[in-house]
Structure formats: structure tokens, C-alpha cells
Amino acid sequence: MTILSLLSAWVTLGLLTACGYEMDSPRLPNHHRTLALGPIRNRTFEAELDVRLQSALRRILYRTAGVSLSAPEDSGLVLALEIERLGGS
């Protein structure tokens, strides 16, 4: 579960900073008010990684000020992810 926590934090921060989002910004990029979590595709052999990552992302985003989660058809932005491989030590 530690790997999942680190992965979800890294993915979330990487995606949000890549789109111009700032931590002190009260809004999503381009003044969107809603965000939807689209499909997370798991291309690894780690069972249920997509399900666990989506659950972790939902918990993080529900607690994030300025982000309101909604259904993809009602959302200004849709976040879709693909997990290609897991790094290991």
C-alpha cells in the first residue's frame, strides 16, 4: 500500500503541475470548476492497481479545496490515466 500511496501522490502532483496548477491556486486550470476521474488503465501485472489508485485519487481530490468531482459528462476536465509499468527497488 505504501507504493500505491507514493505513486498516487507523484501522479497527482505531476499531472497538476504539468497543467499549470499551483498549490495556492483556488481553481483548476482555465477556471474550470469540476473534475472527473476517467478510466485508469492498468497495463501492469499488479492486480487491482487501477482500482486502488482510483480510490486513493478520489480521497485526495475530495479533500482538495477548489476541486469538485463530478461525472465525466458534467465535468469541465476529465483525468484519465494509464499505468504502463511499476518501478521497483
Using alpha carbons only, what angle is made at residue 29 by residues 4 and 41, rounded to the nearest 5 degrees?
A: 35
For 33-51, b/e burial (b = at least 16 CB within 10 A) is ebbbbeebebeeeeeebbe
6 pLDDT exceeds 70?
no
Q: In what order do the strands lie in the sheet with 68-69?
A: 68-69, 34-42, 77-83
pLDDT of residue 4: 62
Cα gap 50→28, rounded to integer Å: 24
Helices (H), the chain: 2-18, 49-62
Mean pLDDT of the chain: 79
Q: Where are the domains of the chain?
A: 2-83
pLDDT at 27 over 70: no
pLDDT digits 0-9 by tens, 47-81: 999 999 999 999 988 888 778 889 999 998 999 99
The answer, yes or no, to whether residue 15 has pLDDT greater than 90, is no
